Structure 1
Amino acid sequence: MMAINFKGGIDMKIKSHLFTSFCLSLLMFSPIGINFSAAHAAIPNTPSEIQAQIPDPKVHFLRGNDDSDHHRYEKAIVNYTNAIALDAYYSMAYMKRGLAYAYLKNPRMALKDFSEVIRLTPDYLEAYLRRGYIWTERGQYEDALKDFTRAIQVAPEDARAYVLRGITHERLEESQLALADLTQAIQLDRDYHEAYLNRGVVFDKIGNHLAAVADFTESIRLEPTEPRGYMLRGLAYEGLKKPDLALADYKQTILLDKNYAEVYRLRSLFYTSQGLQKEAGEDLAMFKQLQLVQSGIWRTR
């Protein structure tokens, strides 16, 4: 994604990272790079072969669940596919297979399975949330908004859908709509730290750094070991021209997660703005080192 700067605020690539971090946490995704071609090779060719071995689709489904619980996602796909071969209307087997594909970083197949769940079970909330997440990551924001809006219709008291829709509105530069959704999420769940965190991002973007600091502070109160809250509050303090507080938050971020690459980049920029070239160079070197280790791709601000 192109990095778009907002004076005194948070740039687009940080918000993209936030969205991904939030959704992985929210939806309990844990993507890892695994070759999933072996899974397809292991699937029996016909339903009759599966029927001859184990005729009950639930047995295959439960085996798939056990594989998923132990992070054997390739095998899980095999078992969920076997269950579906025996029962083409097994909605939850499609759902769990879609999740396994998501873990294996195969969004195309995950989308296909989540769409089938929605076709079979039109009021299943989780399918809309997960499909909407993938749409957003692919930049198909209008499709994502449709899914999150439908999720809200299905479960109007579930704050997650409002947060996800709010973040998607923010991606579309629709700040007021984003604020409305994130505020609604907070009204539904006063202890939902992700709602405060993401509303703070929007406030900072539109230049309301004081409100951003308040939201990040509340997020920190609710989740004091979450490093993003401190990093983002540090950025907001920079917007308020409070360098000492900004630096303290960047340091706290690193204390909580010394491998959080982005905070070193931001602190390097901060040090540069303060004329501390040696410290800036050290942080930039650390940022680049962590990039290599984590294979992360970040553009400079």
Structure 2
Amino acid sequence: MRKFILGILLSIALLGSVRTHAQYNREYFFWVGRSCMMNNNYQEAIRTLNTLLRFDDKAFEGYFLRGIAKYNLDDLLGAEADFSTAIRLNPVYTQAYTYRAITRSRLGNYDDALQDFREAIELRPDLPGPYYSRGVTRLL
């Protein structure tokens, strides 16, 4: 009887210490977030991407997309922070440099914006967008 009770207690202890993780479909959250953004529903996109980032805090694309949504809602500081996180997680993410530069330009931080444009152009000299946006920033 004693072994039986000990076995039950051991089973409970082992089951109690096992952490369970719900599976989630990462691509689904990206798809919903992008769909919301295409429909100009930026707040819903942010909510969806927040869910994704709670499960996968290394998803640099999620931070990038959330940054675009925040930019479109005029949350420029939040957008800059998300673009910076995307860059920290993926240092060769050219689009994140470009969008962070555009955001910094709108914030009046022209020197840092020009540095981001330099970085984007160095990474992908074949893309015309960073050249154009850098020219606009220089005019400002």
TM-score range, shorter chain: 0.7 to 0.9
Residue number in structure 1 paired with 2:118 = 217
Residues paired across the two proteins, number:
119
* SS of equivalent residue, structure 1 residue 139: coil
Give a deviation string over 1:1-53, Cα, whole Å, max 9, x none: xxxxxxxxxxxxxxxxxxxxxxxxxxxxxxxxxxxxxxxxxxxxxxxxxxxxx
Equivalences for 1:1-301 in 2 at 5 Å?
A: 123-239=24-140
Cα deviations by residue, 1:178-200 (Å, 9 ceiling, x for unpaired): 11111111111111111101101
With over 3 angstroms needed to count, the CA separation of the structure-2 counterparts of 1:122 and 1:138, relative to structure 1, is farther
Q: Deviations over 1:74-124 (max 9, x none)?
A: xxxxxxxxxxxxxxxxxxxxxxxxxxxxxxxxxxxxxxxxxxxxxxx9611
Distance 1:167 1:185 in 2: 12
Give structure 1 regions of 4+ aligned residues with deviation exceeding 6 angstroms: none
Give the partner amino acid of 1:143.
E
Q: Distance in 2 between matches of 1:224 and 1:158?
A: 25
Comparing both structures, which one devotes a greater share of its residues to helix?
2
Segments of 5+ residues of structure 1 without an aligned counterpart are: 1-120, 240-301
User: How far 1:134 moved relative to its partner?
Assistant: 1.4
One-letter identity of the residue aligned with 2:36: W
Partner residue of 1:72? none
SS across alignment from 2:29: helix
Partners of 2:111 and 2:31 lie apart in 1 by: 33
Instruction: Supply the distance in 1 between the matched residues of 2:28 and 2:133 (Cα, whole angstroms).
Output: 30
Deviation of residue 228 (structure 1)?
0.5
CA RMSD between the two structures: 1.3
TM-score w.r.t. length of structure 2: 0.80
Alignment TM-score, normalising by the size of structure 1: 0.38
Aligned to 2:14: none
Secondary structure of 1:224's aligned partner: coil
